[in-house]
Amino acid sequence: MTRPVILKDKFYQRDTETIAKELLGKKLVHCLGNQRISGLITETEAYLGIKDKACHTYGGRKTDKTKSMYLHGGHAYVYFIYGKYFCFNVVTLTDQHPEAVLIRALEPLEGIDTMKQFRKKDKIKDLTTGPGKLCQAMGINKSHDGLSLMNSEITIEEHLTISEAQIVAKPRIGIHYAQEAKDWPLRFYIKDNLFISKK
DNA sequence: TGACCGATGAAT
DNA sequence: TTCATCGGTCAT
């Protein structure tokens, strides 16, 4: 088995939309104790900072909740939503650009039994096909907010390369309030992949 | 200090 | 389609 190649600064400090597409096929890994829990990234959404009405940092909003988005690219932004769930984002660009990519779905790879325990579900399809679900399955929570993805327990590794022809672009989910931004095609997923949120 | 609301998920 | 659920946010 070849040694994992962890994505570095140069990957993350680029245009957010490009990163959202290139994250498809990569492997999100949580090293929990001596165990690896991981999944192939199948679905992402780009959030474009101050000019994006769907983004938590729209208009330059900076609060205790959003402060991680002002870190430089390659950090985690984890927030709590709907009183129950966490969502995991990858911060992009520099501290001048509070933009991020939401990871919406994974295809489980390693630690599947642990995922089943964390989720209290048995079917593989129920483990990671949604932003809240995948955080539960991976054991990701608020304590991971602001961590570096280059030298912490959570990393993203090279895995598969997905070609442009295999990428579908659609409007983002759950942002009906975002006026003109609600139709921007910033949701990306791997064509024909079974592990996609919604249906 | 308190009212309001949400980048969801699961049940119906 | 409906709704549970509660921390974050912001107006007092």
Q: Quick one: tokens of A96?
A: 């001048």
Q: Give the pLDDT of residue A3.
A: 82
Place of tokens 């054991």: A139
pLDDT by position in tens, chain A (length 199): 678 999 999 999 999 999 999 999 999 999 999 999 999 999 999 999 999 999 999 999 999 999 999 999 999 999 999 999 999 999 999 999 999 999 999 999 999 999 999 999 999 999 999 999 999 999 999 999 999 999 999 999 999 999 999 999 999 999 999 999 999 999 999 999 999 998 6
DSSP annotation of A116 reads: H
Q: Helix (H, G, I), strand (E, B), or coil: what is residue A75? A: strand
Name the phi and psi angles at A131, rounded to 5. -65, -40
Strand ranges inside chain A, DSSP E? 27-32, 35-47, 76-81, 85-92, 99-110, 154-157, 167-170, 187-190
Decide if A188 contacts A168 (C-beta within 8 A).
yes
* Residues 109-168, chain A, CB closer than 7 Å to nucleic strand B: 119, 121, 126, 130-134
User: d(Cα A52, Cα A47) in Å, to the nearest integer?
Assistant: 7
Judge if the beta carbon of A171 is closer than 7 A to nucleic acid strand B.
Answer: no
**Other C-beta atoms within 10 Å of A181: how many?**
19
Q: Give the pLDDT of residue A2.
A: 76
Give the predicted TM-score (pTM) of the model: 0.97
**Other C-beta atoms within 10 Å of A124: how many?**
15
Q: Give the pLDDT of residue A1.
A: 67
Q: Which residue approaches C10 most closely, CA to C1'?
A: A63
Q: Strand C nucleotides below 7 A of a protein CB?
A: 4-10
CA A142, C1' C10: Å apart?
Answer: 22
CA A137, C1' B11: Å apart?
Answer: 20
End-to-end CA distance of chain A: 34
Q: Give the pLDDT of residue A72.
A: 96
Decide if A63 contacts A3 (C-beta within 8 A).
no
> Residue A107's closest CA among A194, A30, A1, A165?
A194
